[in-house]
């Protein structure tokens, strides 16, 4: 059992180190991690809602909202009403925002691509599949424990 607990601690440590690397990239560019991930999302995926960004990158909605306000105040994004729900805003990079994001995100994407080539795409697919399964099972277990706790 000791080895399994150590394995779990190593998993969390590895995951935290990945976040730390992206935080370091953000720090280098004098922005927050959440602003970096918002730029990353918009630059690599195109126009999105705050809910999309939150869901894709595991950021709290209020954190995404703060990042959106930061970028909007600087003229890097525009907000338009959604087609299905006019209260939901579609976030898009402006020309200035695309240029700004490109300066920060393009070298990051290039670095990620080099790492992926070195790691190998099959190992990357396996890592993603394993993480996805872990997240599904962990979410299910958390819900079960919340339900047991609330009753």
Task: Give the Cα-Cα-Cα angle 58, 52, 131 (nearest 5 degrees).
Answer: 40
In CATH, 31-119 is 3.30.565.10? no
Burial bucket for residue 36 (CB in 10 Å: 0-12, 13-18, 19+): buried
Please report, for the chain, the start and end positions of each structural domain, with discontinuous segments joined by +.
31-119
Residue 17, pLDDT above cutoff 90: yes
Residue 63, pLDDT above cutoff 90: yes
Query: What is the pLDDT at residue 1?
Result: 67
Query: What is the pLDDT at residue 3?
Result: 84
Quote the pTM value. 0.88
- For a pLDDT cut of 90, what percent of the chain falls above it? 83
Query: What is the pLDDT at residue 136?
Result: 95
pLDDT in tens, 75-110: 999 999 888 777 789 999 999 999 999 999 999 999
Q: Is 93 helix (H, G, I), strand (E, B) or coil?
A: strand
pLDDT in tens, 25-47: 999 999 999 999 999 999 999 99
Query: What is the pLDDT at residue 151?
Result: 62
- For a pLDDT cut of 70, what percent of the chain falls above it? 99
Distance CA 30, CA 75 (A): 17
Q: Is 78 helix (H, G, I), strand (E, B) or coil?
A: strand
- Determine the average pLDDT of the residues in 141-151: 84
């Amino acid at each position: 059992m000791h080895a399994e607990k150590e394995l779990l601690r190593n998993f969390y440590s590895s995951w935290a180190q990945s976040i730390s690397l992206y935080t370091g990239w953000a720090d280098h560019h004098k922005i927050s991690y959440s602003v970096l991930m918002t730029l990353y999302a918009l630059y690599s995926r195109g126009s999105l809602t705050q809910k999309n960004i939150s869901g894709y990158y595991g950021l709290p909605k209020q954190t995404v909202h703060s990042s959106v306000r930061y970028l909007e105040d600087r003229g890097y994004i525009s907000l338009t009403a959604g087609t299905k729900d006019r209260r939901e805003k579609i976030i898009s990079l402006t020309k200035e925002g695309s240029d700004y994001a490109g300066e920060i995100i393009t070298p990051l994407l290039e670095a990620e691509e080099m790492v992926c080539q070195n790691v190998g795409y099959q190992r990357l697919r396996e890592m993603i599949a394993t993480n996805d399964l872990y997240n599904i099972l962990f979410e299910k277990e958390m819900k079960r424990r919340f339900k047991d706790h609330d009753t």
